């Protein structure tokens, strides 16, 4: 039996980021537990993108703050996370889409995100290899960008190691004990941790973990696939989005991207040829010059989707059992701000960004859902 001030379940970007901000603020008696290796779930499978072009106040404000923190991480973590502000270029096919995005841009500008609508010729100036024939315009935000998931995990691991915070990989949580409606201990296949505070950051396992504490999280798992190309000299810094397609180039030279097959819920992580066909077709319609580039590898990961496509953050009916999940495909980009929000919530009992108060689990009971229109890939 070990005694811990905080037990964090899940060593993806969310769990590691919460542990980082807690450690930075003096809480060191923490255990981060993962059933596999750090970054083995959705973090290591993600599409690298970091954007602020959303359609709700909650997402826009959280992501604006997260971009600020990504910039900090790039300079203050012990290793580079390769955060790059290459921008997001969102291609729009019809005048109607353009007029919708004009409204989103207004909202984004109101909350301090410098996005704007541009015409197709300006889009072509930003990315000369684009085929702009079928484009009516684009939504462009130069401060959006991407970072490298494996490097981010390595940087956070090293930061935690320097603080003396333990990460227990390959250890599986099998039970959570509560007494009188409060958390008492976390039981794994190797150890029992006595603790008053548990943070469920288990990504696609978050629902299962919450069930152990008697809490039902309204989460669904959707498989999404990604492919990367062989490396070529970096020529593309923005993330390009068009409809369900998104792609960019990593600092290691690979074109990385995906699209949506609109599949029903599944527990399978098998990758499919159907994905590759749809992705290649959409990719080449936007950037025909990539036709002879070799696709090197494809894989699948989960979007852990909440009923309104927004995160579920903070307390639950079980005292001391907190959740940070339901990112609906945006967990990596939100990682820094979620870590800081949750750590501040643990230390001070409040969400330091008021918008995060709208993201509690109780909103589903109260019927206070938030609608996000901009979910891609």
Partner 1 sequence: MNEKNVIICRCEDVTLRDVIDAIRSGITDMESLKRKLQFGTGPCQGKTCIPLVEKVLARELGKKIGESGKITSRPPESPVPFGIFESSGEEK
The footprint of partner 1 (CB under 8 A) covers 36-40, 44, 150, 153-154, 169-170, 229-231, 252, 271, 273, 276-277, 279-281, 283-284, 290-299
Beta carbon of residue 192, minimum distance to partner 1 (angstroms, whole number): 24
Residue 203 and residue 230: Cα distance in Å, rounded?
Answer: 29
11 and 39 Cβ atoms separated by less than 8 Å:
yes
**Structure tokens that stand for 100 in this block:** 């919708």
Among 85, 323, 53, CA closest to 209: 323
Nearer to partner 1, 50 or 226 (CB): 226
Beta carbon of residue 277, minimum distance to partner 1 (angstroms, whole number): 5
Query: Can you spell out the DSSP letters for 39-69?
Result: TTTTTTTS--EE----SSHHHHHHHHHHHHH
331 and 304 Cβ atoms separated by less than 8 Å:
yes
160 and 20 Cβ atoms separated by less than 8 Å:
yes
Beta carbon of residue 78, minimum distance to partner 1 (angstroms, whole number): 13
Nearer to partner 1, 262 or 349 (CB): 262
Q: What angle do CA 171, 204, 83 make, to 5 degrees?
A: 95
Beta carbon of residue 70, minimum distance to partner 1 (angstroms, whole number): 20
Q: H or E stretch including 91?
A: strand 88-92
Cβ neighbours of residue 159 closer than 8 Å, sequence gap 6 or more: 20, 23, 77, 78
Burial 49-63 (b: 16+ CB within 10 A, else e): bbbbbbbbbbbbbbb
Nearer to partner 1, 61 or 256 (CB): 256
Beta carbon of residue 335, minimum distance to partner 1 (angstroms, whole number): 16
193 and 154 Cβ atoms separated by less than 8 Å:
no
- How many other C-beta atoms are found inside a 10 Å radius of the C-beta of residue 369? 13
Beta carbon of residue 36, minimum distance to partner 1 (angstroms, whole number): 8
Nearer to partner 1, 52 or 229 (CB): 229
Beta carbon of residue 281, minimum distance to partner 1 (angstroms, whole number): 5
Beta carbon of residue 296, minimum distance to partner 1 (angstroms, whole number): 5
Nearer to partner 1, 41 or 87 (CB): 41
Nearer to partner 1, 187 or 276 (CB): 276
7 and 195 Cβ atoms separated by less than 8 Å:
yes
**Structure tokens that stand for 350 in this block:** 């409040």
Among 334, 255, 333, 269, CA closest to 297: 255
């Amino acid at each position: 039996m070990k005694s811990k001030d905080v037990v964090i379940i899940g060593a993806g970007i969310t769990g590691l980021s919460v542990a980082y901000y807690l450690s930075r603020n003096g809480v060191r008696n923490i255990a981060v537990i993962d059933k596999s290796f750090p970054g083995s779930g959705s973090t290591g499978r993600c599409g690298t993108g970091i954007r602020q072009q959303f359609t709700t106040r909650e997402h826009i404000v959280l992501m604006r703050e997260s971009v600020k923190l990504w910039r900090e991480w790039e300079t203050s973590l012990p290793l580079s996370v390769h955060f790059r502000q290459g921008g997001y270029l969102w291609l729009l096919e019809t005048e109607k889409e353009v007029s919708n995005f004009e409204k989103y841009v207004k909202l984004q500008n109101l909350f301090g995100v410098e996005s704007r609508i541009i015409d197709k010729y300006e889009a072509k100036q930003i990315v000369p290899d684009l085929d702009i024939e079928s484009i009516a315009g684009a939504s462009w935000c130069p401060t959006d960008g991407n970072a490298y998931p494996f490097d981010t995990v390595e940087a956070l691991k090293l930061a935690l190691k320097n603080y003396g915070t333990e990460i227990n990989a390959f250890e599986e949580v099998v039970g959570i004990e509560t007494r009188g409606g409060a958390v008492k201990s976390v039981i794994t296949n190797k150890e029992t941790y006595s603790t008053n505070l548990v943070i469920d950051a288990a990504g696609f396992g978050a629902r299962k973990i919450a069930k152990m504490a008697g809490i039902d999280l309204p989460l669904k798992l959707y498989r999404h696939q990604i492919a990367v190309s062989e490396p070529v000299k970096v020529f593309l810094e923005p993330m390009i989005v068009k409809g369900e397609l998104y792609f960019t180039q990593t600092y290691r030279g690979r074109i990385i991207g995906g699209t949506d097959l609109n599949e029903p819920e599944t527990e399978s992580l098998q990758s499919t040829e159907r994905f590759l066909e749809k992705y290649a077709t959409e990719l080449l319609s936007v950037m025909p010059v990539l036709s002879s580039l070799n696709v090197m590898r494809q894989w699948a990961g989960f979007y852990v989707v909440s009923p309104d496509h927004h995160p579920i953050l903070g307390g639950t009916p079980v005292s001391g059992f907190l959740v940070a999940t339901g990112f609906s495909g945006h967990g990596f980009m939100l990682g820094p701000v979620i870590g800081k929000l949750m750590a501040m919530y643990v230390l001070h009992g409040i969400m330091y960004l008021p918008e995060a108060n709208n993201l509690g689990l109780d909103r589903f009971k109260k019927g206070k859902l938030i609608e996000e229109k901009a979910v891609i890939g």
